[in-house]
Amino acid sequence: MAERSPFEREDETLRLYLDSTVLIAYTLTRLIEKERHADVVAMIEKINAREIVALTSFYALHEVLVFALRNAPSLNHGIWLGKDALLQILQTEIGVLPMVTREERILNARMFSAIKDSSDVAHAISAYLNGCQFLVSYDKHFEDLPPALEWKRPEDFTG
């Protein structure tokens, strides 16, 4: 019998996977990407109200931390910004998934081979294996997802 995800769908609530571009707009670039930040905040309000189920992964959280470290004026500042960003994310109702295993990646790689950025395949596999209908991202290359998973932007969930 296949191992079940602890976040397996039990009802028809919308299920989203949030990639790091969304989490970064929510936390680290909020002052320079004000429109994106507002859209993400509106979506997260629905997540926190449990109108929508949202998941992300340790891989996405790692990308948030790396973004902070690479864009801060110093290592200490990057560590502080990254830690603050992770705390902001973890204080929401967004569920955190483990990174996909090597086996899961191998078994599902073909389905997601059209994704141009190979580093994003893990996000798509994680979303798919955990019952998400949508992968929410600002990365346009996710438009090449297979029919089992649809790419959307945060503003698609704010109405």
51 vs 116: CA distance, rounded Å: 32
CB 44 within 8 Å of CB 106: no
Q: What CA–CA distance (Å, rounded) separates 129 from 85?
A: 26
Instruction: For residues 96-123, give the mean pLDDT.
Output: 91
The pLDDT score that the predictor gives to residue 1 is 34
Residue 86: the pLDDT is 98
pTM of the complete model: 0.90
CA–CA separation, 75 vs 81, rounded Å?
10
In this prediction, residue 2 carries a pLDDT of 43
Name the DSSP letter for residue 90. H
Cβ atoms of 15 and 136 closer than 8 Å:
no
Q: How far is 15 from 19, CA to CA, in rounded Å?
A: 13
Per-residue model confidence as pLDDT tens digits over 37-65: 999 999 999 999 999 999 999 999 999 99
pLDDT at 114 over 80: yes
pLDDT of residue 143: 87
Which residue segments constitute the domains of the chain, with CATH numbers given? 14-157 (3.40.50.1010)
